[in-house]
Amino acid sequence: MKLDKTLTDKDLGQIIAQMTLEDKAKFVSGKDVWSTQAFEKYNIPAMYVADGPHGLRKVRKTTSNQLGNTIPATCFPTASALGSTWNVELIEEISAAIGKECQANNIQILLGPGLNIKRTPLNGRNFEYYSEDPYLSGKIAAAFVRGVQSQGVAACIKHFTANNQEHERMMNSSNVDERTLREIYMRGFEIAIEEADPWTMMCAYNKVNGIWANEHEWLLTKVLRDEWGYEGIVISDWAAVNKADRAVHAGLNLEMPANKFSSDKIVQAVKNGTLDEQRLDTVVKPLLRIALKTNNLKQVNTELDLNIHHTLAIRAAEESIVLLKNENDILPLDLGKLKSVAVLGRFAETPRYQGSGSSNVNAYKEENALAQIRNILGNHIEINYLPFYESRGDKYAEADLPKAIDIAKKSDVALVFIGLPDDFEAEGLDRLHADLPESHKALIREVATVQPNTIAVLSNGAAVEVEEWERDVPAILESWLSGQGSGAAVANILFGKTNPSGKISESFPLRLQHNPSHLYFPGSNRNVDYREGIFVGYRYYDTKSMEVMFPFGHGLSYTDFEYSDLVVSSKEFSDTDTLKVSCTIKNIGKRAGAEVVQLYVHDKVSELPRPIKELQAFTKIHLESGASAHVQLELNRRSFTYFDTALGEWFAESGDFDILVGSSSRDIRLRETVTLHSKQKRVRIFDKFSPLRDLQDHPIGRPFVEKMLQNFGTSLDADKPEDYEAKAIFLSLPLIKSVNFSQGTFSEDMLEDFIRKINA
């Protein structure tokens, strides 16, 4: 659903022309915590706002507690779980359901999705974000936006940009070079805007290279509006604004929550001449457009069936869950071979299915794994349950450890539910380490020593370290924080009622210290330097050929898939062409299942450092046993480019590229090499410190290099062993050193003239 073009700039301009300066300043400052200003005299309605990256969180009007006492709603899987579905159609279906709940509760703006990059596993808010990969994040976010806005509700993509930690989130500066910003931290936002046209966007708390994100004119105006053509509004994160007049000048449309002092400052700045009133009008116009549009799209008496949404929440959880390990096909469990099952860990009965903070949904219903296991097993299989650890923190009764061991010993299989409690990862605080609580580790460690059929079920919002005990358990199920249906979904997968199809959307390193940002996180003196640059997640691990616990895109199934018949539409193509890549996927196992087909691109030779592979396309397909499907993916110019800061644009470099198709970033099944003929040409500008080797292919530079090489007793074409050293030394010299070695025949003035000629 696009922005309403019937509301022309002329129509909006006429309304703005009637507004007083004071009213315009109030309009861009909000009314209270959850609504915008209404002006009856101008027929401008209020908009009501609510949190909602994985479900509606609407605060009751009667409460003063802004994080609690919210209305019941459907809690779908959190973003880290939804990212692991790789299913854009499912995401759109989920977000449409959330949009419908918004309409039923008079909400015009839903604050979601979050698509910040998972730079480090330690970010306490990682459960709200999809992936370490910007392409996957952008595609899923675009689907989420389409679903919400199909219901006439504005989605709000957030937080723009480089908002990757909670430590000093309102104080620090994320210091990132432009190439890294463009390729990693802004790319997902760009995709979401291009493909889904979100009506609203939220900027971040932090500074970006020393400038507050809400005061960043380069971000909010030059890139967002002038380059990307964004027509929606930019909202501040709650209480992020420090200088309201500067924020308005930069392009911020709405400060939230309301701040009377801000509207006064804006009025004063206009009167003082430090803020142009036309600039204020520029930010009022899109805000007015969205207020009128969402009001026109209100649906009165929207009927909800939350039981239907609950069924969808279970299905979403099932597709989110990832089977990380399954030695000897221990899963799914065979009911015919079981007499007793140990269920250990409080999360089995009291699941942790969402994160803490502003995204916390008051789930109207919830499933727990223990109850569903009892439903599946019935009365003929014994179930032995022990909660063991406390629901929060790291505490457990030492006397319970022998009990857990005894229960595990006398059972046929042990299902151990472990993960991260609320106080280990939450909005407002980062994790101190990537490990599990000692209570959870003690449980899995001790049980695994006595029970070879120990299955670990993880509940966490981001990657955790499992190396200490992973080798001792035959199976690991990553359930993430997968919403109110997570308990039923986990049990259904354990006992084969559902075939797992999730793929992790972030790498699991062996140890936290292997993470590329580890040395620079969380920064110091209110600065965090992104020195790892573009090498985030698998871009780093795969390029370094570093061993990981579980690679990006990994996820097992109860069936097997065969890849074959890779075909590209052309072995040689132009950067204006669309390259079509097709292959055949066959389910060669005995169960129906789903596979995520992932396409990565590798630039074989590049002027600038690039990751060894980058995700550029994917699709998820469902196949019955024995069935095959013809899969076609498309690559466009951007699939092969990098951002060249010297040129200030995305550059498509001519050359050979590997097309890699597989089941994860480390499980490549098919490959083909293609050649790109780019219409872009790099214009090299030489100066006196350019190396002489760069001139050897230049029509004017080559004769000069040949002449200078004569002083070394060699030439460019010389191929004798004794010539190699002389050529290597000479060609590495900067151009200015030609003056030193010319024996007085070549002056600095002559050098300057020569440089002008070759640059011409």
| HSE-up of residue 390 (Cα within 13 Å, Cβ side) | 11
- The pLDDT score that the predictor gives to residue 728 is 79
Largest CA distance in the chain: 100
Pair of tokens at residue 382: 């014994």
Coil, helix or strand at residue 324: strand
- pLDDT > 90 in the chain, percent: 85
Closest to 46 (Cα-Cα) out of 288, 241, 297, 300: 288
Closest to 329 (Cα-Cα) out of 488, 453, 472, 418: 453
| 334 pLDDT more than 80 | yes
Residues β-bridged to residue 615: 600
Could you tell me if 10 and 17 are in contact, meaning their C-beta atoms sit under 8 angstroms apart? Answer: no
Q: What angle do CA 439, 445, 446 make, to 5 degrees?
A: 90
Q: Which residue has the tokens 């002329």?
A: 10
Coil, helix or strand at residue 376: helix
- pLDDT > 70 in the chain, percent: 98
Residues β-bridged to residue 544: none
- The pLDDT score that the predictor gives to residue 681 is 84
In whole angstroms, how far apart are CA 172 and each of 213, 361, 426, 618? 11, 29, 18, 35
pLDDT tens digits, residue range 475-493? Answer: 999 999 999 999 999 999 9
Q: Does domain 316-549 match CATH 3.40.50.1700?
A: yes
- The pLDDT score that the predictor gives to residue 1 is 46
DSSP 8-state class, residue 591: S
Pair of tokens at residue 712: 């070394």
Pair of tokens at residue 366: 């919830």
**What value does the mean pLDDT take over residues 520-532?**
96
Pair of tokens at residue 443: 């449980």
| 683 pLDDT more than 80 | no
Superfamily classification of domain 38-296: Glycoside hydrolase, family 3, N-terminal domain (3.20.20.300)
Superfamily classification of domain 561-677: Immunoglobulins (2.60.40.10)
What's the mean per-residue pLDDT of the chain?
A: 95
Domains in the chain: boundaries: 38-296, 316-549, 561-677, 692-759
The pTM assigned to this predicted structure is 0.94
The sheet with strand 628-635 has its strands ordered as 561-568, 579-587, 628-635
**What value does the mean pLDDT take over residues 217-227?**
98
| 713 pLDDT more than 80 | no
Q: Are strands 49-51 and 561-568 parallel, antiparallel or unpaired?
A: unpaired
- The pLDDT score that the predictor gives to residue 20 is 97
Quick one: pLDDT band at residue 237, thresholds 50, 70, 90? very high
- Residue from 51, 133, 237, 542 carrying the catalytic annotation: 237
Q: Which residue has the tokens 């080797």?
A: 693
The neighbour count for residue 281, using CB atoms within 10 Å, is: 16
Residues in the chain: 760
Tell me how far apart the alpha carbons of residues 525 and 510 are, in angstroms, rounded to a whole number: 30
Q: What angle do CA 339, 343, 349 make, to 5 degrees?
A: 135
Lowest mean pLDDT across 59-73, 150-164, 182-196: 59-73
The neighbour count for residue 632, using CB atoms within 10 Å, is: 12
Lowest mean pLDDT across 330-339, 468-477, 731-740: 731-740
Question: What residue type is 572 in one-letter code?
Answer: E
| 723 pLDDT more than 80 | no
| 2 pLDDT more than 70 | no
pLDDT tens digits, residue range 94-122? Answer: 999 999 999 999 999 999 999 999 999 99
- The pLDDT score that the predictor gives to residue 738 is 83
pLDDT tens digits, residue range 591-631? Answer: 999 999 999 999 999 989 999 999 999 999 999 999 999 99
Quick one: pLDDT band at residue 63, thresholds 50, 70, 90? low
| 473 pLDDT more than 80 | yes
Rounded to a whole number of angstroms, the CA Rg of the chain reads 29
Residue 237 annotated among the catalytic residues of the structure: yes
Pair of tokens at residue 67: 């994080």
- The pLDDT score that the predictor gives to residue 726 is 75
Lowest mean pLDDT across 8-17, 408-417, 481-490: 8-17
Quick one: pLDDT band at residue 298, thresholds 50, 70, 90? very high
- The pLDDT score that the predictor gives to residue 324 is 98
**One-letter-per-residue 3-state SS of 702-742:** HHHHHHHHHCCCCCCCCCCHHHHHHHHHHHCCECCHHHHCC
> Per DSSP, which regions of 575-696 are E strands?
579-587, 593-603, 614-623, 628-635, 641-644, 649-652, 655-664, 667-677
- The pLDDT score that the predictor gives to residue 6 is 66
Could you tell me if 603 and 610 are in contact, meaning their C-beta atoms sit under 8 angstroms apart? Answer: yes
Residues β-bridged to residue 548: 509
| 5 pLDDT more than 90 | no
CB-based burial label for 272 (10 Å; 0-12, 13-18, 19+):
exposed
pLDDT tens digits, residue range 166-184? Answer: 999 999 999 999 999 999 9
